[in-house]
Homo-oligomer: A and B are copies of this chain.
Amino acid sequence: MATLPLMDDRTAPSDSRAVFDDIRTRRQTDYVNNFWRALAHDPALLRATWERLNAVMAPGALDPLVKELIYIAVSTANGCGYCVHSHTAAARAKGMTPDQHAELLAVIGMASQTNALATALQVSVDDQFKA
């Protein structure tokens, strides 16, 4: 599957190859995963996405593992199978334990349920929740 063929070092434009190299360096692996290889058709989009991802996911007020958990949560709610797979792998690489994974799943399930109930009930926002 894919709506565009995956590129590799031979077929990618040189600007995209440079991003592949940056991915390899920062991640300390030879492997460039399929998402980046599909984006490589558009070097500008590839670079903008890769650089912004690094800025956003860097350590800051939130721990990098917490950011991965949030990423999995969003990807699940958006129904992106690729993203659920890749960020679950990334979270494990950053130390997510089986117990943390289990609690993440429980929270995602709970939130999805109360989201649906609040929407079906069309509950008005309480004044004290407004900024």
Contacts and interface: CB of A to CB of B under 8 A. Distances in A.
A1 B128 contact: no
A107 interface: yes
Copies assembled: 6
Range of interface residues on A (Cβ < 8 Å) = 35 or more
Interface in A56-77: 56-57, 60-62, 66-67, 69-77
A88 to B, nearest CB: 4
Contacts of A77: 73-74, 76-78, 116
Interface of A: 1-6, 31, 33-35, 38-39, 41-42, 44-45, 48-49, 52-53, 55-57, 60-62, 66-67, 69-89, 97-126, 128-131
